């Protein structure tokens, strides 16, 4: 009888790797849903009470309709709904008298050449990441957004990074990483060598090194009031030196433009979605609402 060789045939081995990758992606999606579920459930309870809705399904449908109408992520909308001040019952709108401003212009190259759709947050974050990678000359990086309900930062866009890296840094607290330091200081942070820099906790350091990263540049996305609303980080496979003045200027410009755009998005597009939700909730007068 012929013995089976120790190593798997190339075709079968590749199939196993692809299946493993698929399963890990599925687990990551399930984890993200579970992390956002308490927030969505809190928003559902609030909406049921406020609009006299008969069940949680109707409250979810209300969130879903407003989310789809304005292309706002369900988690983002739920987060805004629970953190916004309660509307006055005498007002037909949630935010009476709020000022409206034009969408800020993004001047960096990637934003201009991609012809980003109006108010498309996902496309803007993708352009921010791509521009930062181009400036530094690497293909590994991620964009994180500040989490207004739990604090810290959560990854929204990434490229070139290992699955272990993305899993570990899906949400980071307020210390122990270069990105958290950039967010706290609202200033660009360069880590010349991940292996020796004291900014990292040991688990974070080990995860980054296993991903093949040795140098990091983290750039805060800041509003006009210098409030950090996110961070874009680019990773390099070897230790790095300081950025040139031209690189620093361009990355800081990208961070400032992106931060102003995100602030506009939160106070315009997200609030428009909440107004739509409020209008729908009042219109149904406590009746059932079905999903689209």
- Is residue 197 over pLDDT 90? yes
**Please, are residues 263 and 224 in contact by the beta-carbon 8 Å criterion?**
yes
Q: Give just the sign of the alpha carbon dihedral 218, 149, 286, 61.
A: positive
What pLDDT, on the 0 to 100 scale, is given for residue 29?
Answer: 58
The residues that bridge with 159 in the sheet, in sequence order, are 141
Which residue carries 């521009």 as its tokens? 131
CA distance readout (Å), 225 to 146, 182, 222, 229, 248: 16, 16, 8, 11, 20
Please choose, from the candidates 26, 286, 19, 243, the residue with its C-alpha nearest in 3D space to the C-alpha of residue 137: 243
How many Å separate Cα 272 from the centre of its chain? Answer: 20
The mean pLDDT of the chain is 89
- Is residue 54 over pLDDT 90? yes
What pLDDT, on the 0 to 100 scale, is given for residue 5?
Answer: 43
What pLDDT, on the 0 to 100 scale, is given for residue 3?
Answer: 44
What is the tens place of the pLDDT at every residue in 104-136?
999 999 998 887 877 899 999 999 999 999 999
Among 6-10, 29-33, 131-135, 153-157, the least confident range: 6-10
Which residue carries 């190339």 as its tokens? 10
What is the tens place of the pLDDT at every residue in 237-249?
999 999 999 999 9
Angle between helices 269-283 and 74-83 (to 10 degrees): 80
Among 104-113, 163-172, 279-288, the least confident range: 279-288
Q: Whole-model pTM?
A: 0.85
Q: What is the mean pLDDT of residues 248-254?
A: 98
DSSP-H helix ranges across the chain: 10-51, 56-70, 74-83, 109-113, 121-136, 163-168, 178-185, 202-210, 245-267, 269-283
| 144 membership: H or E segment, kind and range | strand 140-146
Q: What is the mean pLDDT of residues 10-24?
A: 65
């Amino acid at each position: 009888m012929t013995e089976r060789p120790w190593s798997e045939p190339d075709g079968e081995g590749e199939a196993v790797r692809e299946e493993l990758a698929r399963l890990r992606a599925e687990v990551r999606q399930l984890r993200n849903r579970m992390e956002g579920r308490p927030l969505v459930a809190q928003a559902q309870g609030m909406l049921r009470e406020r609009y006299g809705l008969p069940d949680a399904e109707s409250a979810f449908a209300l969130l879903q309709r407003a989310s789809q109408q304005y292309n706002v992520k369900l988690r983002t909308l739920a987060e805004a709904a629970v953190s916004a001040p309660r509307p006055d019952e005498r007002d037909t709108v949630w935010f009476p008298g709020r000022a409206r401003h034009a969408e800020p212009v993004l001047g960096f190259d990637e934003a201009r050449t991609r012809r980003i759709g109006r108010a498309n947050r996902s496309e803007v974050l993708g352009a921010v990441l791509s521009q930062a990678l181009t400036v530094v000359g690497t293909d590994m990086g991620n964009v994180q957004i500040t989490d207004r309900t739990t604090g810290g930062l959560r990854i929204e866009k990434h490229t070139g990074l290992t699955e272990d890296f993305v899993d570990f840094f899906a949400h980071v607290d307020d210390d122990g990483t270069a990105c958290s330091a950039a967010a706290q200081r609202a200033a660009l942070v360069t880590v010349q060598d991940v292996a020796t820099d004291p900014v990292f906790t040991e688990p974070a350091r080990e995860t980054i090194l296993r991903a093949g990263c040795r140098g990091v540049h983290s750039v805060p996305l800041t509003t006009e009031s210098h409030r950090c609303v996110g961070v874009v980080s680019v990773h390099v496979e070897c230790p790095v030196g300081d950025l040139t003045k031209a690189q620093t200027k361009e990355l800081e410009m990208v961070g400032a433009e992106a931060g102003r755009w995100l602030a506009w998005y939160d106070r315009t597009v997200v609030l428009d979605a909440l107004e739509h939700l409020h209008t729908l909730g009042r219109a149904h007068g406590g009746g059932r609402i079905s999903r689209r």
